[in-house]
Amino acid sequence: MAEMESAVEGRTASVLFAGFRALGLFSNEVPHVVRYSALKRRFYVTTCVGKSFHTYDVQKLSLVAVSNSVPQDICCMAADGRLVFAAYGNVFSAFARNKEIVHTFKGHKAEIHLLQPFGDHVISVDTDSVLIIWHIYSEEEYLQLTFDKSVFKISTILHPSTYLNKVLLGSEQGSLQLWNIKSNKLLYTFPGWKVGVTALQQAPAVDVVAIGLVSGQVVIHNIKYDETLMKFHQDWGPITSISFRTDGHPIMAAGSPCGHIGLWDLEDKKLINQMRNAHSTAISGLTFLHREPLLVTNGADNALRIWIFDGPAGEGRLLRFRMGHSASLTKIRYYGQNGQQILSASQDGTLQSFSTVHEKFNKSLGHGLVNKKIVKRKGLQNTMSVRLPPITQFAAEEARQSDWDGIIACHQGKRSCSTWNYQRSTIGAYFLKPRGVKTNSNLTATAVDITSCGNFAIIGLSSGAVDVYNMQSGIHRGNFGDDKAHTGSVRGVAVDGLNQLVVTAGSERLLKFWNFKSKVLIHSLGLDSSPNMMLLHRDSGILGLAMDDFSIAVLDIETRKIVREFSGHHGQINDMVKQTAFQISSLISCLGERCLNN
């Protein structure tokens, strides 16, 4: 309480609303890091999630550690057998036990974008092409090399296998340099291929390195004799990352900016497979696990995936994954009464469920499809053309979830509402379409609600009509009003807990109360401003209205009178949520990010 009072006095944010746990964050554009624990004999993968990083056990892809936060967003990571290194701004730190900062290194003047562990030392490179070698335990600077970034701007770094005290540097200008960092000597300059180097990866063979280029080429080069062994080219843009299988199959994987992965046979020197749409954004990092047919990938689409190569043609199939939303959220709601599951819709078009208890209970209900039967019949691999637009509003009820669909959703610019099945984690059986609407009409569904029994769905439309549908059969069961319930667009619909009263809000500044069974208008209440959205707390009969003038009105649906009014917002109110513990309506800001704060 003392902390809260001091925060208020200091005009800072109250700790009451400080999130204690982030849900739905798994990865961003920073490449992952794979480590092997000799003690536990298993692999771990570390992914960046902003100002901290998560460590997962590859065997089950379960979260084993969350690091402490750093002051800024992490821009690159690296790891050795003991420590994880994370750079933020012009500083980087070493983390022990995947959590605690034990060393911090300061000395760069520009942002660090490359890290390379090197025995008891670590190498850091900033965007001004200043390379500094640090002694890890004393945190002292061992050597500093400065490059003219107009001639040689370092874009990637590699310590070639068996090359003692040597590092290979790639540049945006296309040339490469081999340095002995102990004697501070430039040993050799590779002229390159006149295009920027984007990736360097040690091949299973000694002296052989794979070089990824901006042109989309992968060059397999012998750095001992400065001889090119083979070249590959992909049409998907620059190479973002490279990895080699080490389980007896001569296969190389290369990532691309559009989310595709190419698989190349090094013996036959040809492309053998394509993993299209492995991620919906650029492949940030990909790593074959040592002596295992497993490929770990991550991307900026907030997804971490593990692929297994056990098919007859060497193709990879998805084995395990952790995935959150890849775009900003449009709506979140608790599912059920125990507060253990949160349903969330996003601009990426997916509907997902996040557990407040443990990540193993998370699940994705997937993208909405215009017609699932066509997709199954035609066997479409790329479903982008038949996906529904993002969900803007949804309502859920678990009362009859074992019998039929219990979720209904409005989609951006769509007049039809989709149903979803939580238990099967998929889109449902019906699309609830308004009756008597012309095909070229720009009518859209704007508000939805489900009765507490789970039998009926109420849908409000931009035309002012409010329709009732049966959730089990999808049949239309009537509408409110002679033709329309409102003359303006419907901004909100709600049904009380006993299925006796329906409340609708229209943009013409009217709030109407209807008899649920007879569809007869009971009462109409004029408002000072157009309502933007509406939320009913069924247990107490308290109705919250967010207005276009940024105020909030609280009504009692029994007396049909405004009992409270709140003002103070200076922008549009995006969402409201009911607080069950005190049976009141409270307001929260719409998150607009890819994480949910509980």
Instruction: Please list, in sequence order, all residues whose beta carbon lies within 8 angstroms of the beta carbon of residue 550, skipping any fewer than 6 positions away.
Output: 567, 569, 570, 571, 572, 573
- Model confidence at 575: pLDDT above 60: yes
The pLDDT confidence band at residue 266, using thresholds 50, 70 and 90, is: very high
Q: Going from the N-terminus, what domains does the chain have, and what CATH number goes with each?
A: 329-524 (2.130.10.10), 527-588 (2.40.10)
Region 329-355: what's the mean pLDDT? 92
Do residues 460 and 466 lie in contact, with contact meaning Cβ atoms separated by under 8 Å? yes
- Model confidence at 339: pLDDT above 90: no
Please tell me the distance from the alpha carbon of residue 459 to that of residue 259, in angstroms, as a whole number.
Answer: 38
Q: Which two tokens stand for residue 454?
A: 């789970």
Give how far Cα 196 sits from Cα of 131, 136, 192, 255, 302, Å: 19, 31, 9, 16, 27
Average pLDDT, whole number, for the chain?
A: 89
Please tell me the distance from the alpha carbon of residue 44 to that of residue 290, in angstroms, as a whole number.
Answer: 12
Helical H segments across 362-449, by residue range = 372-378
Region 93-100: what's the mean pLDDT? 95
Residue 589: per-residue pLDDT: 36
Region 99-119: what's the mean pLDDT? 96
The pLDDT confidence band at residue 11, using thresholds 50, 70 and 90, is: very low
Residue 18: per-residue pLDDT: 59
Counting beta carbons within 10 angstroms of the beta carbon of residue 180, is it exposed (0 to 12), middle (13 to 18) or buried (19 or more)? middle
Give how far Cα 326 sits from Cα of 18, 51, 286, Å: 23, 18, 19
Do residues 543 and 554 lie in contact, with contact meaning Cβ atoms separated by under 8 Å? yes
The pLDDT confidence band at residue 378, using thresholds 50, 70 and 90, is: low
Please tell me the distance from the alpha carbon of residue 317 to that of residue 5, in angstroms, as a whole number.
Answer: 55
Q: For the whole model, what pTM was predicted?
A: 0.85
Span of 11-25, 35-49, 112-126, 359-373 with lowest mean pLDDT: 11-25
Query: In this predicted model, which residue has the larger pLDDT, 492 or 14?
Result: 492
Counting beta carbons within 10 angstroms of the beta carbon of residue 551, is it exposed (0 to 12), middle (13 to 18) or buried (19 or more)? middle
Instruction: Please list, in sequence order, all residues whose beta carbon lies within 8 angstroms of the beta carbon of residue 518, skipping any fewer than 6 positions away.
Output: none
- Model confidence at 314: pLDDT above 90: no
Please tell me the distance from the alpha carbon of residue 400 to that of residue 50, in angstroms, as a whole number.
Answer: 39
- Model confidence at 234: pLDDT above 50: yes
Residue 371: per-residue pLDDT: 64
- Model confidence at 461: pLDDT above 70: yes
What amino acid is encoded at 525 in this protein?
L
**Predicted confidence (pLDDT) per residue in 273-311, tens digit:** 999 999 999 999 999 999 999 999 999 999 999 999 998
By percentage, how much of the chain surpasses pLDDT 90? 79
The pLDDT confidence band at residue 357, using thresholds 50, 70 and 90, is: confident
Span of 80-94, 314-328, 365-379 with lowest mean pLDDT: 365-379
Please tell me the distance from the alpha carbon of residue 384 to that of residue 331, in angstroms, as a whole number.
Answer: 22
* Phi/psi at 188 (5° precision): -160, 145
Please tell me the distance from the alpha carbon of residue 385 to that of residue 436, in angstroms, as a whole number.
Answer: 27
Partners of 417 in beta bridges? 432
Do residues 430 and 384 lie in contact, with contact meaning Cβ atoms separated by under 8 Å? no
- Model confidence at 19: pLDDT above 60: no
Region 357-372: what's the mean pLDDT? 82
Tokens 């409010």 sit on residue:
466
- Model confidence at 4: pLDDT above 50: no
Please tell me the distance from the alpha carbon of residue 227 to that of residue 129, in angstroms, as a whole number.
Answer: 27
**Predicted confidence (pLDDT) per residue in 401-427, tens digit:** 999 999 999 999 999 999 999 999 999
- Model confidence at 383: pLDDT above 80: no
Residue 579: per-residue pLDDT: 64
By percentage, how much of the chain surpasses pLDDT 70? 90
- Model confidence at 379: pLDDT above 90: no
Residue 155: closest CA among 136, 135, 175: 175
Residue 57: per-residue pLDDT: 95
Region 436-462: what's the mean pLDDT? 88
Residue 189: per-residue pLDDT: 97
Residue 343: per-residue pLDDT: 95
Residue 450: closest CA among 392, 515, 405, 384: 405
Give how far Cα 12 sits from Cα of 393, 590, 592, Å: 33, 20, 22
Residue 286: per-residue pLDDT: 96
Q: Which two tokens stand for residue 85?
A: 């290194």
Kind of pairing, strands 317-323 and 584-588? Answer: unpaired
Q: Which two tokens stand for residue 48?
A: 């960046």
Residue 442: per-residue pLDDT: 84
Please tell me the distance from the alpha carbon of residue 92 to that of residue 108, in angstroms, as a whole number.
Answer: 9
